[in-house]
Structure 1
């Protein structure tokens, strides 16, 4: 084989890997289709999220353990994203208690935090089984209703969804959120 062909092929492979950046996902699950309601009573679908990277998590407003610190962590992440000048992103928080988490309850919950609501949808308007299935099939996480209390068990991860609608990575969303890694991954997905 000609040395020029080999060199050209190696150069092309190098350029392709350089263009894809250093992103390494740890999962690859298609985001199932949905049509939910956000905190403003507006419909949000999985199609609406396509074309931009999305940071997602699971919460509920009546949570008395992990949800307040997780939401605080997400607001810090959002601030860091915007401080880095990243504009092409969205955030989504799926309620795991849709019966209680009406748009009004979500709006009241949001008011406790400083966040950019233009980029962040808190979603409800579905059956519990729907969000439980979504969590398992798209995010590989369990959402379980505790019949002995008003609390829910749910994932505490932060997830990254690619512009093509694939859940590609999960990160710690509770103890030590890797903000720099998430922002670098966001940028890489934007450029790909």
Structure 2
């Protein structure tokens, strides 16, 4: 693989914005993301600066965005990991009684798919979560729309298992988001 997988830097907000807007134009975007292209494209630069800072190593340590940087410097994919603590507000889904990480905003450009890039991004994100100190992260979870078979296949390929839990899709209570998770690996 010719890509470098790394965490975003706070000053890279224009690239964070460009990749997110590309993701929101993907044909799967309506069932893959809660945000819309129109709403995100209308956000001021300050929104994107804050987003990049919060997901960088300079942020608060509770969010990290990993990107796949190609040989020409183009970002071809991304995954963001949020830390969820039992005593904190749940951003999406249901609360649990363990310290966990939550994978969101998974995207690989169509022309970069099929070469292991998504798997490498997941590895970086989960390795980061497992590396955090006390309290230890006990599991990593994500949600996938019940109609997003391509994404569900990827999540199973990287070791995630359906938990049997689901929540209504925001804005469409007739559809469900299915929870997948992977437990902390034995040392």
Q: Same fold (TM over 0.5)?
A: no
Q: Which fold has the larger relative contact order, with Cα–Cα distance below 8 Å and residues 6 or more apart in sequence?
A: 1
Identify, as 1 or 2, the structure richer in strand. Answer: 2
| TM-score, normalisation: structure 2 | 0.28
State the TM-score, normalizing by the size of structure 1. Answer: 0.28
Going by fraction, where is helix more abundant, 1 or 2? 1
Structure having the higher Rg: 1
